[in-house]
Amino acid sequence: MLLKYAFIFILSGFALVLPLVSIVAGAILGPRKPDPVKNDIYESGLNTIGDTWIQFRAQFYLIGLVFLVFDLEVVFLYPIAMAYGRPEFGMAAVLVTLLFMALLIVGLVYDWRKGGLEWQ
Amino acid sequence: MAEWYQVLMTALVGAGVPEWIATAIALLVGVTAIGLVAPLIALILVWLLRKVISRIQDRIGPNRVGRFGLLQTIADIVKLLSKEGINPSRADFMAYNLAPILSVFGVLLLFAVVPVTRGLIGVDINVGVLYIVALGSIGIMAALMAGWGSNNKYALLSGFRVVAQLLSYEIPLVLSMLAVVLYAGTMRFGELAEQQGNFLGLGWYVFLMPGAALIFFVCALAESEQTPFDLLEAESELIAGFHIEYSGMRFAMFFLAQFLGGFVFAWVGAAMFLGGWQGPGVDLPGIGGFLAAGYMMIKTFAIYLLMIWVRGTFPRLRVDQMMSFCWKILVPLTVGLISWQMVVQVLDLPTPVIAVLVLVGNLLVMGIGLYAVGRAIRQEGFRTKRAFTPDSLIGTMQPVAE
């Protein structure tokens, strides 16, 4: 069991090193002639106006929140899916699960009616 | 551990190597195999994409370097290696440099759990499906870091879109995979493939759950940033997307991650819905193993070719269309599908009846989904037509307000 995760751990080290090595190789092999115009922001040749790092629009937070709720739900649904088919997982448990999902759908419908899903 | 590991261990220990060194060697061999095969696959994928897209667009495509242009990608890599990696002076150093590394990192790790044949799978962990889902999010973070770190307005806009699109489409993707997990009762990719071996190796879940498979495919297109969901790098709107400011090898890393990401999704889809390595004749002694590996690769490349076909054929969606397609069609449909399947499976019915009921639910979901899409397209058609009638706002190209 531990060996499997050791494999993934070693692979994650490899997966970090592979892009790092190629980027460093590119930096060594490639030319290096920085100049202020080249290093400036590329916006189709126009000089950039104003600051880029502005605030996110509230819409993204809304989507993010709905996503969080759904993702949490999915995290709970996977164990339920694994427990399916066991004798102790009967009709009552399924009803509770369906209620769980119904609550989520109520939330989605609320968000929908409030216009949280309309993208402007 | 998987079979390849046991074989290696037996051979090494048999040759008199101490056990801990043998373990280390076996693990390193496996890791290196994945780490080297994945970039090689990417080489083939780039060539394949360019060749197929060229044919769709009535061009020849790369045909100068090597036979059929097969060495074109290698030439491109040499070119990218000799390019200057520009460091934008106003970029956020950490986010800008970490993003390409992280995007490849997230994708390469996915290769650990996808199966090639029976016994030839990096690690057959018991949370395989969940592992894929969890690691899929690293790519989102990398793209957002690139968009934010570049200090470029187009890159930032693209970063915003990444968050919105990939987060949204992750939900139906995960739920459609849940449908399979619920039916199979396992998250191991090895077992998932084993369970689809009925009927001469043709008992694939795609025949049982066409609706889930279709939704999975659509979401995989969106998650791997393919047309018609490639809004985050829509070149007519955003120049190049979140990697505008990247050049040289750092740009190549994003490219690699995108290709491999699409391929891994095709692979996962083949393993979950198209029966993995199952097919006629995989149980034969001798050639069975090779047949199985061949089936697996053929299925994966078939799904990937389908993705390329879609990419070469469909126009791009608009942001609001894409978002409402996900939240208003896909999410309710998948939730309904899961609920239906839960109810069906808990009833005390014989297995064939359950299978038929699941199939009916899936067909219903497909029907409703396709009908809703068709209706939306018709409405959009009316709106566009009205926008161009003589008394409308000619020249401004603005859709008429409803």
Same domain, B73 and B94: no
Tell which of B330, B351, B369 closes a domain: B330
- B-facing residues of A in 12-51 (CB < 8 A) are 12, 14-16, 18-20, 22-23, 25-27, 29-34, 36, 38-44, 48
By CA distance, what is A49's nearest residue in B? B153
First to last CA, chain A: 49
Residue entry with tokens 């994650």: A12
Of B80, B164, B338, nearest to A63 by CB-CB distance is B164
Inform me whether the pLDDT recorded for A79 exceeds 90.
no
Report the half-sphere exposure of B378 (CA within 13 A, side-chain side).
6
Which sign does the torsion angle of CA B245, B249, B251, B257 carry? negative
Residue B345 falls within a domain, yes or no? no
In this structure, are residues B101 and B94 in contact, taking their beta carbons and an 8 Å threshold? Answer: no
Digit-coded pLDDT (tens) for A11-20: 899 889 988 9
Across the A:B interface, residue pairs with CB atoms under 8 Å apart total: 215
Q: State both tokens at A111.
A: 């968000």
> Which residues of B fall within a CB distance of 8 Å from A22?
81, 249, 252-253
Q: Which domain holds residue A25?
A: 2-113
Residue A89 falls within a domain, yes or no? yes
From CA B231, how far away is CA A87, in angstroms rounded? 47
> Which residues of B fall within a CB distance of 8 Å from A8?
109, 112, 123, 125
Q: Inform me whether the C-beta atom of residue B13 falls under 8 Å from chain A C-beta atoms.
A: no
A interface test, pick of B130, B135, B168, B342 with most A CB neighbours within 10 Å: B342
A interface test, pick of B32, B76, B79, B86 with most A CB neighbours within 10 Å: B86
Q: Which domain holds residue B225?
A: 86-330
Residue B319 falls within a domain, yes or no? yes
Residue B163 falls within a domain, yes or no? yes
- Put simply, the answer to whether B27 touches A89 (Cβ < 8 Å) is no
In this structure, are residues B278 and B295 in contact, taking their beta carbons and an 8 Å threshold? Answer: yes
Q: What is the pLDDT of residue B69?
A: 82
Residue B118 falls within a domain, yes or no? yes
CA-based R_g, chain A, Å: 25
Where residue A20 sits, what CATH number does that domain have? 1.20.58.1610
Q: What is the pLDDT of residue B62?
A: 85
Q: State both tokens at B81.
A: 């290696």
Same domain, B70 and B92: no
Tell which of B22, B55, B82 closes a domain: B82
Residue B362 falls within a domain, yes or no? no
Task: Return all residues near B148 (Cβ < 8 A) that are at least 6 apart.
Answer: A53, B92, B95, B155, B156, B159
- Tell me the mean pLDDT per 10 residues along chain B, length 402: 78 83 86 88 90 89 84 87 82 86 90 85 84 86 85 82 84 90 86 82 86 91 80 67 81 88 91 86 79 89 91 81 86 90 84 88 91 85 61 52 52
From CA B10, how far away is CA B17, in angstroms rounded? 10
Tell which of B281, B302, B330 closes a domain: B330
Prediction ipTM score: 0.88
Kindly report the nearest CA distance between residue B69 and chain A, in angstroms: 24
Which residues are registered as beta bridge partners of B115? B121
Q: What is the pLDDT of residue B280?
A: 82
Q: State both tokens at A92.
A: 């009552």
Of B5, B84, B151, nearest to A41 by CB-CB distance is B151
Q: What is the pLDDT of residue B282?
A: 77
> Which residues of A fall within a CB distance of 8 Å from B178?
74, 77-78, 81
Residue A48 falls within a domain, yes or no? yes
Tally the domains of chain A: 1
Q: Inform me whether the C-beta atom of residue B317 falls under 8 Å from chain A C-beta atoms.
A: no
Residue A120 falls within a domain, yes or no? no
Same domain, B244 and B309: yes
Inform me whether the pLDDT recorded for A43 exceeds 80.
no
Same domain, B51 and B94: no
> Which residues of B fall within a CB distance of 8 Å from A30?
81-85, 248-249
Of B31, B153, B324, nearest to A43 by CB-CB distance is B153
Please name the helix (run of DSSP H) or strand (run of DSSP E) that holds residue B98, with its range, or none.
Answer: helix B93-110
> Which residues of A fall within a CB distance of 8 Å from B8?
none
Q: What is the pLDDT of residue B385?
A: 61
From CA B357, how far away is CA A11, in angstroms rounded? 42
Tally the domains of chain B: 2
- Put simply, the answer to whether B112 touches A40 (Cβ < 8 Å) is no
Q: Inform me whether the C-beta atom of residue B54 falls under 8 Å from chain A C-beta atoms.
A: no
Question: Which of B134, B5, B192 minimizes the C-alpha distance to A6?
Answer: B5
First to last CA, chain B: 60
In this structure, are residues B50 and B25 in contact, taking their beta carbons and an 8 Å threshold? Answer: no
Q: What is the pLDDT of residue B213?
A: 92
Residue B399: phi and psi, rounded to 5, are -65, 145
Same domain, B32 and B104: no
Kindly report the nearest CA distance between residue A47 and chain B, in angstroms: 11
Residue B59: exposure state from Cβ atoms within 10 A (0-12, 13-18, ≥19): exposed
Same domain, B43 and B171: no
By CA distance, what is A92's nearest residue in B? B346
Same domain, B128 and B24: no
Residue A119 falls within a domain, yes or no? no
From CA A79, how far away is CA B187, in angstroms rounded? 10
Same domain, B106 and B253: yes
